[in-house]
Amino acid sequence: MQIHQSAEDYLETILMLSQRMGKVRSIDVVNELGFTKASVSIAMKKLRENGYIAVDGEGNLTLLEPGREIAERIYSRHRLLTHFFMQLGVDEKTAAEDACKAEHILSEQTLEKIRERAIETDAELGKTVK
């Protein structure tokens, strides 16, 4: 099933917030992304209807397996690209912003080459890449 970039961003945000806060509600997504409550509400409804998230009686969001897989893939790409861009000398804020844009469009082949180069660079610097 094809999933849009915006849905990937929402799923990634839910994952990051759940790692940071434990429980996540729609308002947390609103605050994190700076979107309107209405926009987030519509997106959460679509994600729920498509089987990516569940919402309990208290409004807590939970990633279901398909949603978790997508979120983890996108977040992994985000971390790798942010790290790589910082290796190139880009400041952390800009690196993270650029990674957020690039994480959705780069091929697996390109990402693998970036991963290899990041590992080589870290090895040269005596660091370890996850």
Cite the DSSP H helix spans in the chain. Answer: 5-21, 26-33, 37-49, 65-87, 92-102, 108-125
Confidence of residue 8 (pLDDT cuts 50, 70, 90): very high
97-129 pLDDT tens trace: 999 999 989 999 999 999 999 998 888 877 765
Distance from the Cα of residue 96 to its chain's centroid: 11
Taking the model in full, what pTM does it have? 0.85
Q: What is the pLDDT of residue 107?
A: 92
52-103 pLDDT tens trace: 999 999 999 999 999 999 999 999 999 999 999 999 999 999 999 999 999 9
